Structure 1
Amino acid sequence: MCGIALIISGVKIDLSSSLPDSSSSAPDVEVEHSLLSIDDLKAALLRRGPDGLGSQKVFLHFRSSCSVEKEESLSLLNGEEGNKREKSYNGFSVTKSVAELHFIGATLQLRGITPIFQPLVDTYGNILVYNGEIFGGIHVGSDSNDAETLIHALGRCCSCDSHGHTRACFCIEKTHTSVPELLSTIKGPWSLIYWQDSSKTMWFGRDAFGRRSLLVHWPTLEDSRLLLSSVSPPSSVENNSDRMSNLTFWEELSCGIYSISINASKANGCLVGEFRKHDWTNTVLKELIKWERTFVEPKSEHVKPHSDIPDSLMNNVIQSNSSLTYRGLLPSVSLPAHKVLIALRESVMRRTILNTIFQTATCEIRQQEHVPVAVLFSGGLDSMILAALLNECLDSSYQVDLLNVSFDSQSAPDRISAKAGVKELQRIAPSRRWKLVEIDADLSNLTLESKHVMSLINPAKTYMDLNIGIALWMAAGGDGWVEEGICDNNEENNRRCKYKSEAKILLVGSGADEQCAGYGRHRTKYRLGSWLGLHEEMKLDMHRIWKRNLGRDDRCISDNGKEARFPFLDEDVIRTLLEIPLWEVADLDQPVGRGDKKILRDVARLLGLEAAAVLSKRAIQFGSRIARESNRKNFGSNRAANQASAGSVEIYMPTSLT
């Protein structure tokens, strides 16, 4: 998928009961001069290079009988504006409408054999725009598309249960599931907007970990509309001199499921939206969200060396979908590491199975030209594990692009480790065609690009967010150089050739540090608060990862027409890691490069990645050296930036980012 958006205008939405921080509901009078237009949202989504962009309008009318009618204007586009088809009901015209719902859906289709066009509309008048993947919970056939499967499932949901049985249920079959129950079963990243026509209810939300971006503008006196969007248009930060005011226009929608039930108010003569946030209903998912671990503090009986691995686990390891042959267990690797390896391999497999849409090309073209999956690659522990697992899960005929960004040419730490990492990958998988894509950038020449990325990271607005956003955006673009061998007098030389990765799926290592104690502050918390302090800090990281990291990262990567996938944040991987005692996940009494992310270092050894298993953690802004260049540009020196705590400083430059 690619991106979604919605504008609701003309509905008075009361947010006070469900959003404590909201001081007001929508104004009674519609504000004429809005900061954003529908064209702004369309342009932002078109930048992502979708296969199609569509829009759908629904007009709601107030009648004395309190019924709601609609008039539709449907436009399904393939890159440019198409012809509109209009249909009216009971003689109502657009000019008599009280409220307008405007849906936008951009589609980057990676699954299914039949092209789809969003918004999807079923025979009951329900409308869906969806940005996500379904990796479990709802069956999606190998030839099917996620969104099409989902709208059919949603169409079977009960329309009487939307607001906690506040109305009598008229469903013939009492076994109908509710919308929250259905959405709670989905495994995988998603954000969606769904109009349930029979109940006149707007559903929207994002998955429990926030792996897909969804921004919201709650109604204000300045702009009385409710807006949802996968991304903030550039006009959000460019069209007004008061840029800080514009930067507060959007906020990250908290993870969860929301609904607005629209009713006619006889007393006020207007349409009123009853807003509600719904609880997740899946018991397993609710436990994952809590992120509580059974074994946090080791007792004396817990720290004994592990006994031999049970035969049942060995069978699981050997019979799992792996191309590796394990020659016995490594004596220094624990039983939990094998469990994590199995979960991670299955996670990568789910995210890299090539559906029928990829098989339309001939075998020759697929082998020579098509690169379906790339890895955001620093050569560090997490990206090396992902690359090694991708090698196991992807047909050997496909090339794998390893995308590496540097703001210091060949001298950046991540460039050095990436080159070493490729050599290690070639050693364990010599038949795979690995292509290191070296993406070189100069921050001083990226003024316009920086302005654009500023709109992508919005509502985040610190220098650290901008540095990370630029690095991710440049890396995901895949526009760089590769070294290709040529033969000259029987001697192999290398030449650097221009290359742009066309892979649409990008594996990203997000979530590994949060779950496996990879940050320096984790070591500090352990030193000050022992195991319990470490656990609480890691839980805090997982509870806020949607707001601090994932929304921003998803927007920056998707802007290049790529789809970010996060194997470490697979539901089964999260559950597996939580079932493992904390002291098996990390041992922060050991030095850096050994005790931090201990369990992933063991996984790396099982994969044959001995060098990667001892690498220290480096954040992308430091490994690529964009933080150093940004500090020099904006603060004069690294020392001055450190004194100002530059990473947390908010950007405030009314006219430019230079």
Structure 2
Amino acid sequence: MCGIALIIHGVRFDLSSLLINSTFPVPKSEQLVFTIADLRAALRRRGPDSLGSWKLLLHSTVSSCLPELEIASSIEEVKEESCSEDERNCFSLANGRTESQFSTMPSSAAELHFFGASLQLRGISPIVQPLIDSSKNILLYNGEIFGGIDIGGEENDGEVLLQLLGECRSCSPYLHKTNNFDRMGEGSVPDILSRIKGPWAIIYWQESSKTLWFGRDAFGRRSLLVHWPTVADSRFLLSSVSPVSSDFEAENGTTKLNFWEELPCGIYSISIDAPKLDGLFLGEVKKHEWTNAILEELIKWERTSVEPKPEELHISSSKTLTRKHDSHSVNSDALPSKSGPMQASNSVLAQTVLMALKESVMRRSSLHTIFQAGRHDVENELVPVAVLFSGGLDSMIIAALLHECLDPSYDIDLLNVSFDGRSAPDRISAKAGLNELRRIAPSRKWKLVEIDADLPTLTFETKHVMSLLNPANTYMDLNIGIALWLAAGGDGWVYEENSNYNDEDRQCIKYKSKARILLVGSGADEQCAGYGRHRTKYRNGSWLALHEEMKLDMQRIWKRNLGRDDRCIADNGKEARFPFLDEDVIKILLGIPLWEVTNLDQPSGVGDKKILREVAELLGLSEAAALPKRAIQFGSRIARESNRKNYGSNRAANQASAGSAVIHKQLDMA
């Protein structure tokens, strides 16, 4: 999947259990207006293999047994081409329901409109979402199942999930009013979703209980935006991405709207009850507990060994220095010897992390039958998986592991973006990284895709990325978003494989990566103390303060990073996958003493992300193991160009704290 969405109207929502004020009015000047056509367009431009839409109609009937109202439902397919102008106006999202809605909807009726855009990467038969089973259960699934639920090599995970969810026991209205619905056990919808290893966002209608389930995985690796009902707009909306509003955002390039927010990670339900005196159905919204104990531990992100004893820290520092001193002795053609000086530095802990990361990359690069059945490329030109590549520590580890996991007949694209041509730090390190990868894996055909950009000329692109960022709204978000969006597009240049990068006469070829899976290094810095603020926290408050800062980073990564990144990458018809955020990798890293993960008494490039530097050496990446951390907005130099454009200079931007400044004015990108 590459995008899902839902619009509900005709339901009065009870949000009291979420402590959300559902009656807060939006000023008329800040109302967001978009149509169903806009929503479809936002999903369609992601390049899906299919785009489907269904409407679920609910209406009240009198029970034959008791004198009370029951809910009846019917489902109808909405052909994409059949969306009339009247229907578009009917779903215009401003000022609540329009006159046409009141006149066309029957009394005591509610409507749920489901949208699903599928980028199919699994299964032998084409699918079109929403998926509907014989019991009229409806599933929209944007994700991948890498474990927890068995998926056959020729099966589609969405179809398997629909079958499992269809077997879940129904929840009666009585259970809605008890704690049993809050803490459901084995065989329930929360139980099935809690078992999934991998990124996901879901919208699921359970027909038997008239309950809508929705949510996103515990780390928020897939975007899902929510609009909670307000006085100005009483609808409930979910969407992977915010559509571009033709009459506001497209003109201004920015927005002050607070229409959308990132849905907090978790599993939610809306149980629909029959209409009361006001003629509207009642929807009670609840959030449910995870039923997987191991997952709960990962969410809490507690590490048992945080503060070392003096002797433990001394031993750890000695290993780091030994590794640094002996790095020149690493055999470039094989893993380091299991005896000798490297034995002390390349510890069992690093070996454990290496194996967990390799399994993670293997799960995320396993090619299923759909690739073989649907490809039109020549065998030796097929590039199914690419890497977001800066040449830094994290992307080098991912690239080296991908080489070990992927069939040798496939090329690997390394996508590198620069806003300063050859001079950007990430371009320089990417070239050096390519040479190191060629040294340890000479049989692999690597393609460094050089994507060059000039920020002042990206007028349309910048405004478009701003719509993808929503609700993220800072200049730092914009800089990162543009860099990710361009990199994921993969539209650049490659040089002849035997060309020397020091040769001014090298031959270059225009190239656009067709890889639909993009491996990204997100989560490495949060888990292994790669940010400058981690060093500051350690110096000011020692190990415990460092742990708390890393914990905060992991528990807010869904809101600050992953939703934004997923939207920017998916817009290019690519699926972002995050090997460092695999559940097993997180568990392994949490089980390692903090001082073995990082040692911030050591200088940058040595003690920070210490465990990953040891992993890099085990892979033969001795040069990458010594590289300092550099964020994409700085390594690509988009931050510098943005500062010059919007503030006149880097100094002025720094004085204004430009990175965290909210975008509050119309951008003139000409």
- The question of a shared fold, defined as TM-score above 0.5 by the shorter chain, is answered with yes
* In 2: Cα distance, 1:254 partner to 1:365 partner: 40
What does the per-residue CA deviation read over 1:43-84, in whole Å, with 9 as the maximum and x for residues that have no partner? 10001000000001011113353211123221466xx6699x
Q: Please, which of 1, 24, 43 is the counterpart of residue 41 of structure 2?
A: 43
Is residue 422 of structure 1 aligned with residue 434 of structure 2?
yes
* In 2: Cα distance, 1:360 partner to 1:369 partner: 16
Show the counterpart of 1:320: none
* In 2: Cα distance, 1:571 partner to 1:299 partner: 29
* In 2: Cα distance, 1:650 partner to 1:133 partner: 33
* Residue pair 1:451, 1:656 contacting (<8 A) in 2 also: no
Show the counterpart of 2:257: 247
What does the per-residue CA deviation read over 1:276-295, in whole Å, with 9 as the maximum and x for residues that have no partner? 01111100000000000000
Choose 37-46 or 370-379, whichever is displaced more. Answer: 37-46
Q: Could you tell me which amino acid in structure 1 is paired with residue 125 of structure 2? A: T
* In 1: Cα distance, 2:105 partner to 2:134 partner: 22
* In 2: Cα distance, 1:654 partner to 1:292 partner: 43
Q: Could you tell me which amino acid in structure 2 is paired with residue 43 of structure 1? A: A
* In 2: Cα distance, 1:393 partner to 1:546 partner: 28
1:463–1:271 distance in 2 versus 1, CA, 3 Å: same
Show the counterpart of 1:622: 634
* In 2: Cα distance, 1:512 partner to 1:136 partner: 21
Q: Could you tell me which amino acid in structure 1 is paired with residue 13 of structure 2? A: I
* In 2: Cα distance, 1:456 partner to 1:251 partner: 13
Is residue 356 of structure 1 aligned with residue 369 of structure 2?
yes
Is residue 69 of structure 1 aligned with residue 72 of structure 2?
yes
Cα deviation for residue 267 of structure 1 reads 3.5
What does the per-residue CA deviation read over 1:465-517, in whole Å, with 9 as the maximum and x for residues that have no partner? 000000000000000001115899xx996211100000000000000000000
Show the counterpart of 2:359: 346
Is residue 266 of structure 1 aligned with residue 276 of structure 2?
yes
* Residue pair 2:481, 2:568 contacting (<8 A) in 1 also: yes
* Residue pair 2:42, 2:241 contacting (<8 A) in 1 also: yes
Q: Please, which of 410, 414, 417 is the counterpart of residue 402 of structure 1?
A: 414
* Residue pair 1:236, 1:247 contacting (<8 A) in 2 also: no
Cα deviation for residue 360 of structure 1 reads 2.5
* In 2: Cα distance, 1:278 partner to 1:236 partner: 37
Give the secondary-structure state (helix, strand or coil) at the position aligned to 2:302.
coil
Q: In percent, how many aligned pairs have the same letter? A: 66
Show the counterpart of 1:319: none
Show the counterpart of 2:298: 288
* Residue pair 2:185, 2:291 contacting (<8 A) in 1 also: no
Cα deviation for residue 19 of structure 1 reads 2.4
Cα deviation for residue 237 of structure 1 reads 8.4
Where do residues 90-489 of structure 1 align in structure 2 (5 Å cutoff)?
A: 95-96=106-107, 98-160=109-171, 166=177, 177-235=187-245, 238-239=248-249, 247-300=257-310, 302-303=312-313, 305=315, 327-328=337-338, 330-331=342-343, 332-360=345-373, 365=377, 367-484=379-496
1:50–1:286 distance in 2 versus 1, CA, 3 Å: same
Q: Please, which of 556, 567, 570 is the counterpart of residue 544 of structure 1?
A: 556
* Residue pair 2:219, 2:558 contacting (<8 A) in 1 also: yes
Q: Could you tell me which amino acid in structure 2 is paired with residue 351 of structure 1? A: R
1:202–1:608 distance in 2 versus 1, CA, 3 Å: same
Give the secondary-structure state (helix, strand or coil) at the position aligned to 2:139.
strand
1:361–1:245 distance in 2 versus 1, CA, 3 Å: closer
What does the per-residue CA deviation read over 1:498-539, in whole Å, with 9 as the maximum and x for residues that have no partner? 000000000000000000000000000000000000000000
1:437–1:207 distance in 2 versus 1, CA, 3 Å: same
Q: Could you tell me which amino acid in structure 2 is paired with residue 68 of structure 1? A: I
* Residue pair 2:25, 2:232 contacting (<8 A) in 1 also: no
Structure 1 ranges of 4+ moved more than 4 A: 80-83, 161-165, 167-170, 239-246, 323-326, 485-488, 654-658
Is residue 56 of structure 1 aligned with residue 69 of structure 2?
no
* Residue pair 2:256, 2:664 contacting (<8 A) in 1 also: no
Cα deviation for residue 373 of structure 1 reads 0.2
* In 1: Cα distance, 2:480 partner to 2:121 partner: 27
Q: CA RMSD in A?
A: 2.8
Q: Could you tell me which amino acid in structure 1 is paired with residue 351 of structure 2? A: H
* Residue pair 2:54, 2:77 contacting (<8 A) in 1 also: yes
* In 2: Cα distance, 1:178 partner to 1:287 partner: 21
Size of the aligned set, in residue pairs, is: 620
Cα deviation for residue 459 of structure 1 reads 0.3
* In 2: Cα distance, 1:550 partner to 1:127 partner: 26
* In 1: Cα distance, 2:282 partner to 2:632 partner: 46
Show the counterpart of 1:88: none
1:297–1:624 distance in 2 versus 1, CA, 3 Å: same
1:296–1:101 distance in 2 versus 1, CA, 3 Å: same
* In 2: Cα distance, 1:592 partner to 1:224 partner: 52
* Residue pair 1:486, 1:492 contacting (<8 A) in 2 also: no
TM-score (norm 2): 0.88
Q: Could you tell me which amino acid in structure 2 is paired with residue 335 of structure 1? A: V
Show the counterpart of 2:99: none
Cα deviation for residue 130 of structure 1 reads 0.6
* Residue pair 1:237, 1:455 contacting (<8 A) in 2 also: no
* In 2: Cα distance, 1:524 partner to 1:245 partner: 34
Choose 580-589 or 245-254, whichever is displaced more. Answer: 245-254
Cα deviation for residue 369 of structure 1 reads 2.0
Choose 266-275 or 107-116, whichever is displaced more. Answer: 266-275
What does the per-residue CA deviation read over 1:377-415, in whole Å, with 9 as the maximum and x for residues that have no partner? 000000000000000000000000000000001100000
Is residue 9 of structure 1 aligned with residue 22 of structure 2?
no
* In 2: Cα distance, 1:253 partner to 1:440 partner: 34
Q: Could you tell me which amino acid in structure 1 is paired with residue 55 of structure 2? A: K
Give the secondary-structure state (helix, strand or coil) at the position aligned to 2:17.
coil
Q: Please, which of 568, 572, 577 is the counterpart of residue 565 of structure 1?
A: 577
TM-score (norm 1): 0.89
Q: Please, which of 548, 566, 591 is the counterpart of residue 603 of structure 2?
A: 591
* In 2: Cα distance, 1:354 partner to 1:608 partner: 26
Give the secondary-structure state (helix, strand or coil) at the position aligned to 2:71.
coil
What stretches of structure 1 of length at least 5 have no aligned partner?
A: 28-32, 84-92, 310-322
What stretches of structure 2 of length at least 5 have no aligned partner?
A: 63-67, 85-103, 320-332
* In 1: Cα distance, 2:127 partner to 2:473 partner: 36
* Residue pair 2:252, 2:667 contacting (<8 A) in 1 also: no
Cα deviation for residue 150 of structure 1 reads 0.4
Show the counterpart of 1:90: none
* In 1: Cα distance, 2:633 partner to 2:667 partner: 25
Q: Could you tell me which amino acid in structure 1 is paired with residue 632 of structure 2? A: I
Is residue 578 of structure 1 aligned with residue 581 of structure 2?
no
What does the per-residue CA deviation read over 1:142-190, in whole Å, with 9 as the maximum and x for residues that have no partner? 00011101000000011127985637999xxx99611011100000000
1:60–1:551 distance in 2 versus 1, CA, 3 Å: same
Choose 573-582 or 491-500, whichever is displaced more. Answer: 491-500
Show the counterpart of 1:608: 620
What does the per-residue CA deviation read over 1:352-384, in whole Å, with 9 as the maximum and x for residues that have no partner? 01111112379x955322100000000000000
* Residue pair 1:162, 1:179 contacting (<8 A) in 2 also: no
Cα deviation for residue 567 of structure 1 reads 0.2
